[in-house]
Amino acid sequence: MDLIERHRRVLPSWLSLYYDEPIELDRGEGCWVWDAHGERYLDCFGGILTTSVGHNVPEIVSAISDQAARVIHSSTLYLNRPMIELAERLAKASGIPDAKVFFTTSGTEANDAALLLATAALGSNQVFALRNSYHGRSFTEIAVTGNRTWSPTSYSPLSVSWLQGGSRLRGPLAGLSDAEYVARGVADLEDALLTTTAGRVAALIAEPIQGVGGFCLPPDGYFGELWRVTQREGILWISDEVQTGFGRTGEHFWGYEAHGITPDLITFAKGVGNGMSLAGVIGRAEVMDALGTNSISTFGGSPITAAAGVATFDYIIDHDLMANARARGAELREGLDAIARSTPAIGEVRGKGLMQGVELVWPGTVEPAPELATRALEAARREGVLIGKGGLHGNVLRIAPPMTISAEQIEHALEAFRRSFADQAFHVKEQ
């Protein structure tokens, strides 16, 4: 029996795989990966999921193997040097003056911790979240995830009110200027405060760029306007930086910085340990210390994942990968914009740095075209490039390579996209 059939038999049906013929990855090197048949692909998605600085990076591999050979034990019951060293780096980089850090093993759990801390600190289970968001798949995170594809149940420990968010290509946000977008969003928040909440609101949770939601982003400075209201009301701001952190946007270390705010809590995950199960929350000491009871974590910030985190953090800083994300991101964007100009099925290219989304529509309309997104994903794979998919309608391609990608590799990816989008399906007006 082949591996695909074995996967289908033993794993739940909702763990869906990419591609008609799913790929078994065998090894990776830098921005390249090879499948079990020896086929080589340029990895333009793993950067945001796991390998922020590339595959098989010697400094990180040796940090992991050295720690594995030394000791791996409870994360929190004994003094854990790698965890303390990583916490110090993250606290310093966070922009929060008296920051403390708690480590978890996934982004879901990081957001759970942030919301637990916020609700404990303020004594309220009322929170604000943005439409089209994704924050994870626990009961708590499903409740603040504004996309029904990812919300299989309505049970929640939180009481959630929805704020403006999502694509500006269609729906209520379509056609708004940046100034109108901001004014509408502030009015929406003020209205939510008056009409949909009772008593105290604990937190507002938001992604600076909605990741799973298809790289939708508000105008720079927008969150600053909302933040003024949340500050006035004593509502804590949680910035979910799981996809936008660590310099990926090319302009700032954290996505929130584009908005001139200082969040109370920041959550991080995915690439922080270059593929190890490492995540967590950074926050103001007063909020971080708010739990009145003990809490421990067996694996969160374990010596081995924290060692990977320290090595990854240092690699990002030492190689100035934020600058590379800015330069390579600009080249990628320029190339994608050029493809979009001659491809009627591309409704919008958006994002920042090495986080670029391509929204597919039926040519001549703004109607979402998930079938075309799937077609483009398959075509790029045939051309030897791995990309991701997302968006409320599953019609947005997500391009997010490791931050170490070179100019030649960006051109290689663009050449593959040019060939992929030459397909008539992306040019015919009538479907």
> Which residue type occupies 380?
A
At closest approach, how far in Å is the CB of 132 from ligand PMP? 12
Is residue 135 at the binding interface for ligand PMP, with CB under 6 A as the rule? Answer: yes
Is residue 297 at the binding interface for ligand PMP, with CB under 6 A as the rule? Answer: no
Query: Do 269 and 106 meet the contact criterion of CB atoms below 8 Å apart?
Result: yes
Is residue 269 at the binding interface for ligand PMP, with CB under 6 A as the rule? Answer: yes
At closest approach, how far in Å is the CB of 105 from ligand PMP? 8
118 or 414, CB closer to ligand PMP?
A: 118
Span of 14-22, 204-212, 329-337, 420-428 interacting with ligand PMP by CB under 6 A:
204-212
* Closest to 333 in 3D by CA, of 358, 359, 316: 358
Phi, psi angle pair for 314, to nearest 5°: -65, -35
At closest approach, how far in Å is the CB of 212 from ligand PMP? 5
Please report which helix (H) or strand (E) contains residue 284, including its range: strand 279-284
Is residue 107 at the binding interface for ligand PMP, with CB under 6 A as the rule? Answer: yes
67 or 106, CB closer to ligand PMP?
A: 106
At closest approach, how far in Å is the CB of 226 from ligand PMP? 18
Q: Which of residues 143-162 bind ligand PMP (CB under 6 A)?
A: none
Cα→Cα distances 28→36, 38, 277, 381, Å: 11, 11, 18, 16
Is residue 134 at the binding interface for ligand PMP, with CB under 6 A as the rule? Answer: yes
Chosen residue from 51, 52, 80, 106 binding ligand PMP by CB under 6 A:
106
H-only helix segments in 44-196: 46-49, 58-70, 81-93, 107-122, 139-143, 178-195
Chosen residue from 43, 112, 225, 240 binding ligand PMP by CB under 6 A:
240
Chosen residue from 167, 243, 302, 395 binding ligand PMP by CB under 6 A:
243
* Closest to 161 in 3D by CA, of 136, 194, 122: 194
Cα→Cα distances 217→11, 240, 258, Å: 34, 13, 11
H-only helix segments in 260-369: 285-288, 303-318, 321-341
Chosen residue from 44, 189, 242, 413 binding ligand PMP by CB under 6 A:
242
Is residue 112 at the binding interface for ligand PMP, with CB under 6 A as the rule? Answer: no
Strand partners, 130: 163
Span of 5-13, 132-140, 179-187, 255-263 interacting with ligand PMP by CB under 6 A:
132-140
Q: Sort residue 357 into left (φ over 0), alpha (ψ -120 to 50) or beta.
A: beta
Chosen residue from 54, 136, 255, 401 binding ligand PMP by CB under 6 A:
136
**Given the rule CB under 6 A, which residues bind ligand PMP?**
106-108, 111, 134-136, 207, 211-212, 240, 242-243, 269, 279
